[in-house]
Amino acid sequence: MSKTDHNGAPRHRASTPGKATVLAIGKAFPCQLIPQEYLVEGYIRDTKCQDVSIKEKLERLCKTTTVKTRYTVMCKEILDKYPELATEGSATIKQRLEVANPAVVEMALQASLACIKEWGRPAADITHIIYVSSSEIRLPGGDLYLATQLGLRNDVNRVMLYFLGCYGGATGLRVAKDIAENNPGSRVLLTTSETTILGFRPPNKARPYDLVGAALFGDGAAAVIIGTDPVTGKESPFMELNYAVQQFLPGTQNVIDGCLTEEGINFKLGRDLPQKIEDNIEAFCRKLMSKASLTEFNDLFWAVHPGGPAILNRLENTLKLREGKLECSRRALKDYGNASSNTIFYVMEYMREELKREGGEEWGLALAFGPGITFEGILLRTL
């Protein structure tokens, strides 16, 4: 089906009645932008690291991640106020949360405002809010603060999804889909917001993954509005959430291991993560594709959470994807780093622009991977 009319303007497919659609998308970032070429000197200086071998390893990692720019909440002002954050062995969880809790909500607020502006309807029309973060800890949670600052009704239905890691955004989409489809007329605001403050620490040879995190992860927020049966003339859906699946791989719970301590969050990442994904990804994708009787991987568009270049390369090779099929994922990784649960939405935003071209694919897959090892997948249909 052609995607442009005779004047060259984009044409729109009709959404499936009762199926959840993405009605708007927004994003937000902290003000500190770090080009990757300046990361090493800054990190080594801020943590007062004297080990030349650690610096050389971080330089190599910064090149292999393919990241070019990232945003971060961490800045000189924070380190000046809390110098203990850069001191090995300091009990600093209280100080980290003093920074992270308000920063995460502020980014979520700005992303949500951008999303609501694109949506074009009043915030009071939002019936449900889903708040996703692995970067704050408090009661009540950020969902309440966000709903209050947005001026949502006090009977808005709130859901928090905490500490899911990199697959949290895709889980949020699956939950939003279920809510929207089971509550006709509802409009669900899904927001994700993350900062690396909880995991910032000086390098230590006993914790090699800390350097991977320093070279790869970034901060930011994203928001989407989900609903069924879009209102003609008032809403502009661009993607349909046709079918969603979550699956965990038994016996792999230690491959991605996160532990909250007095010093913040400590992560351990198994070297076999890319291989575990490679071994299981084809069957998982075919399960999603079967719902629309799809059989060819290269007939789809792909919105894959870019956990790192190794995972993208393995997926591309295993599924024999044509060059460029993962371009939106690689572009998001380059521009923002791995921003945890947010990143799938940065990929989807790039994909929205890509799919406006003539002859773009109708069907696609959104994929994300995280602790468990957990796979999240959504069969998408572009509108």
Where in the chain does DSSP place strands (E)? 20-28, 32-35, 69-72, 128-133, 157-162, 188-194, 220-228, 239-248, 256-261, 264-269, 301-304, 363-370, 374-382
Contact 132, 192 (CB under 8 A): yes
Q: How far is CA 224 from the centre of its chain?
A: 12
Q: Which of 201, 182, 129 is nearest to 159 (CA)?
A: 129
Instruction: Indicate the pairing of strand 363-370 with strand 69-72.
Output: unpaired
Q: What is the DSSP string of 36-84?
A: HHHHHHHHHHHTT---HHHHHHHHHHHHHT---EEEES--HHHHHH-GG
- C-alpha distance from residue 147 to each of 57, 77, 101, 129, 191 (Å): 43, 29, 15, 8, 11
* CA nearest neighbour of 369 among 288, 265, 256, 215: 256
C-alpha span between 119 and 205 (Å, rounded): 48
Residue 328, classified by CB atoms within 10 Å of its CB into exposed (0-12), middle (13-18) or buried (19+), is buried
Report the catalytic residues.
Answer: 166
CA pair distance 213, 248, nearest whole angstrom: 23
Dig out the tokens for 138 from the structure: 């408090």
Residues 6+ apart with CB under 8 A from 42: 34
Residue 159, CB-side half-sphere exposure with 13 Å CA sphere: 19
Contacts of 98 (CB under 8 A, 6+ apart): none
Nearest to 173 by CA among 342, 355, 350, 330: 342
Q: Quick one: tokens of 44?
A: 């080594």
